[in-house]
Amino acid sequence: MPSKDLPRPRDPLGRISRRGFLKGTAALAAAPSSFTLTQGRANSSSGPILAYVCGYSGGHSPERTKANEHGIFLFHMDPATGALSRQKAFADDSDPGWLAFDSSGTHLYAANETETFQGAKSGSVSAFSVDRSNGDLTLLNTVSSQGAGPCCLSVHPAGKYLLVANFSGGSTAVFPIRSNGDLGPATDVKQDRGTVGPIYPTSAPRGNFAIFGHDGGPHTHMMQADPSGRFVLVTDLALDKIFIWKFDVQNGTLTANDPPSVALPPGDGPRHFVFANEQRMYSLQEQGSTLVLFDFDSTSGRLTARQTVSTLPKGFTGTSFASGINLSPNGRFVYAANRLHDSIAIFSIGKGGRLSWVDAVWTRGDFPRAINIDPTGNFLCSCNQRSDAITTFRINRETGALTFTGHYAFVGAPAAIVFLS
Q: What is the CATH number of the domain that holds 255?
A: 2.130.10.10
Tell me the whole-structure pTM to 2 decimals.
0.89
| CA gap 410, 393 in Å, rounded | 15
Residue 302, pLDDT > 90, answer: yes
What is the count of structural domains for the chain?
Answer: 1
With beta carbons less than 8 A apart as the criterion, state whether 227 and 277 touch. Answer: yes
With beta carbons less than 8 A apart as the criterion, state whether 385 and 391 touch. Answer: no
Residue 1 lies in a domain: no
Which of residues 160 and 15 earns the better pLDDT score?
160
Residue 34 lies in a domain: no
* Chain segment 76-104, per-residue pLDDT in tens: 999 999 999 999 999 877 889 999 999 99
Of 382, 392, 375, 377, which Cα lies nearest the Cα of 415? 382
Q: What is the pLDDT, as a whole number, of residue 280? A: 98
For range 189-196, the mean pLDDT: 96
Residue 37 lies in a domain: no
Which of residues 227 and 19 earns the better pLDDT score?
227
Residue 361, pLDDT > 60, answer: yes
The chain-wide mean pLDDT, for the chain, equals 88
Residue 122 lies in a domain: yes
Residue 39, pLDDT > 90, answer: no
Residue 55 lies in a domain: yes
With beta carbons less than 8 A apart as the criterion, state whether 207 and 213 touch. Answer: no
For range 8-31, the mean pLDDT: 39
For range 27-52, the mean pLDDT: 50
Least confident of 45-59, 83-97, 370-384: 45-59
Residue 384 lies in a domain: yes
Q: What is the pLDDT, as a whole number, of residue 91? A: 80
Residue 137, pLDDT > 80, answer: yes
| Strand ordering across the sheet containing 343-349 | 321-327, 333-339, 343-349, 355-362
| CA gap 100, 304 in Å, rounded | 28
91: Cβ contacts below 8 Å, ≥ 6 apart? 70, 71
Residue 22, pLDDT > 60, answer: no
| CA gap 414, 25 in Å, rounded | 17
Residue 378, pLDDT > 60, answer: yes
pLDDT band at residue 67, thresholds of 50, 70 and 90?
Answer: low
| CA gap 414, 389 in Å, rounded | 7
Q: What is the pLDDT, as a whole number, of residue 76? A: 98
For range 163-170, the mean pLDDT: 95
Residue 3 lies in a domain: no
Q: What are phi and psi of 45, to 5 degrees?
A: -85, -40
Residue 153 lies in a domain: yes
Which residues constitute the domain of residue 89? 50-420
pLDDT band at residue 229, thresholds of 50, 70 and 90?
Answer: very high
